[in-house]
Amino acid sequence: MSRIVRFHEVGGPDVLRLEEVETPPPGPGEVRLAVKALGLNRAEAAFRSGRYLEQPVLPSRLGYEAAGIVQDVGEGVSGFAPGDVVSVVPPVGLGKYGMYGEVATVPAQFVVKHPPSLSFVDAAATWMQYVTAYGALIEIAAVTKGDAVLITAASSSVGLAAIQIANLVGAIPIAATRTSAKRDALLAAGAAHVVATAEEDLAARVRAITGGTGARVVFDPIGGPGVEVLAHATAREGIIFQYGALSPDPTPFPRVALGNAIAMRGYIYSEITTDPRRLEAAKRFIVDGLASGALHPIVAKTFPLEAIADAHRYLESNQQVGKIVVTV
């Protein structure tokens, strides 16, 4: 028996329960690990509350990413053995595997031996953010030296990962955040410029920063009517990535995007994780970046597993700069 977080109904953070559950051994192609830390993601709050793309089958487990020690491996698994220190690239299916708990079982292709310099907390804060940002900026947009990259919701873990990846390849990360309260933290995290969208004209500021051309790439998880402003901040023949839909309002295709040949592209991290070739390329890029120190997870706050509901409340408060991690 292991302590596992489950929920029996959709709702707020209080629906999360820490329960004693029988955990079966790993099946063929799977790895079971003793979880030492797990990272929180906004998608998990949406899944818990019934607002995600997929609906939970109740009672449901929860959680995308974790770090820990291999306990056992299933038939056909090579390259991993009990005692190995590993972390988990988020597999597809929020409730299918579930990282929230003392034990997690996942397919071996999503398990990584991360650089030994990483703590369990940092390793648990790694894969969702960096794979998401890598896929859009490097794999698809091929961001390179001198490119201006506008990053909205920049204080989120994915936003901070995008800032670091842009810096790694010599691009110019422009962080957008609602107010100036997080300006200093974003500059310290590597943003070349910070725009407070409730206090400044975003499009005018981005065009001033870029000498009038606009950002070649926009990386946005919000959508909604705000894409009109983002399109005015985008360079001719640039690309706007929509990797989320935090706005409850419809997302239009802006008229200026038509006139300036701007592409708008829906994007989710599973484009990378469901393609073995692209996943291996992402792992190499991220592991190399972690080993060199160019990529370094920023952790906002940690909570013990027993305070999982409090961790979710903090996740939904939007106070954090960086990743929220739960320790086991």
- For residue 242, give the CATH number of its domain: 3.40.50.720
Distance CA 273, CA 288 (A): 18
The answer to whether residue 79 scores a pLDDT higher than 90 is: yes
8 and 113 in a single domain? The answer is yes
pLDDT given at position 51: 87
279 located within any domain = no
Indicate the range of 11-25, 86-100, 183-197 predicted with least confidence: 86-100
84 and 181 in a single domain? The answer is no
Is residue 27 within 8 A of residue 46, CB to CB? The reply is: no
58 and 77 in a single domain? The answer is yes
250 located within any domain = yes
How many CA atoms within 13 Å lie on the side-chain side of 67? 23
Is residue 195 within 8 A of residue 206, CB to CB? The reply is: yes
Residues constituting the chain: 328
The answer to whether residue 129 scores a pLDDT higher than 80 is: yes
pLDDT given at position 245: 87
Q: Which amino acid is at 156?
A: S
212 and 183 in a single domain? The answer is yes
280 located within any domain = no
115 and 207 in a single domain? The answer is no
The answer to whether residue 148 scores a pLDDT higher than 80 is: yes
The answer to whether residue 158 scores a pLDDT higher than 90 is: yes
Confidence band of 96 (pLDDT split at 50, 70, 90): confident
307 located within any domain = yes
The answer to whether residue 93 scores a pLDDT higher than 80 is: no
For the stretch 238-296, pLDDT in tens is 999 999 888 989 999 999 999 999 999 999 999 999 999 999 999 999 999 999 999 99
Mean pLDDT of 100-117: 95
Instruction: Give the CATH number of the domain where residue 107 resides.
Output: 3.90.180.10
98 located within any domain = yes
261 and 142 in a single domain? The answer is yes
Distance CA 278, CA 229 (A): 32
Helix, strand, or coil (residue 186)? helix
**Which domain does 182 fall in, by range?**
132-270
Q: Work out how many domains the chain is built from and give that number.
A: 2
pLDDT given at position 100: 97
104 and 162 in a single domain? The answer is no
The answer to whether residue 92 scores a pLDDT higher than 80 is: no
CB atoms within 10 A of CB 49: 17
pLDDT given at position 255: 94
76 and 138 in a single domain? The answer is no
pLDDT given at position 172: 98
Distance CA 69, CA 80 (A): 10
Distance CA 117, CA 288 (A): 12
114 and 211 in a single domain? The answer is no
pLDDT given at position 61: 95
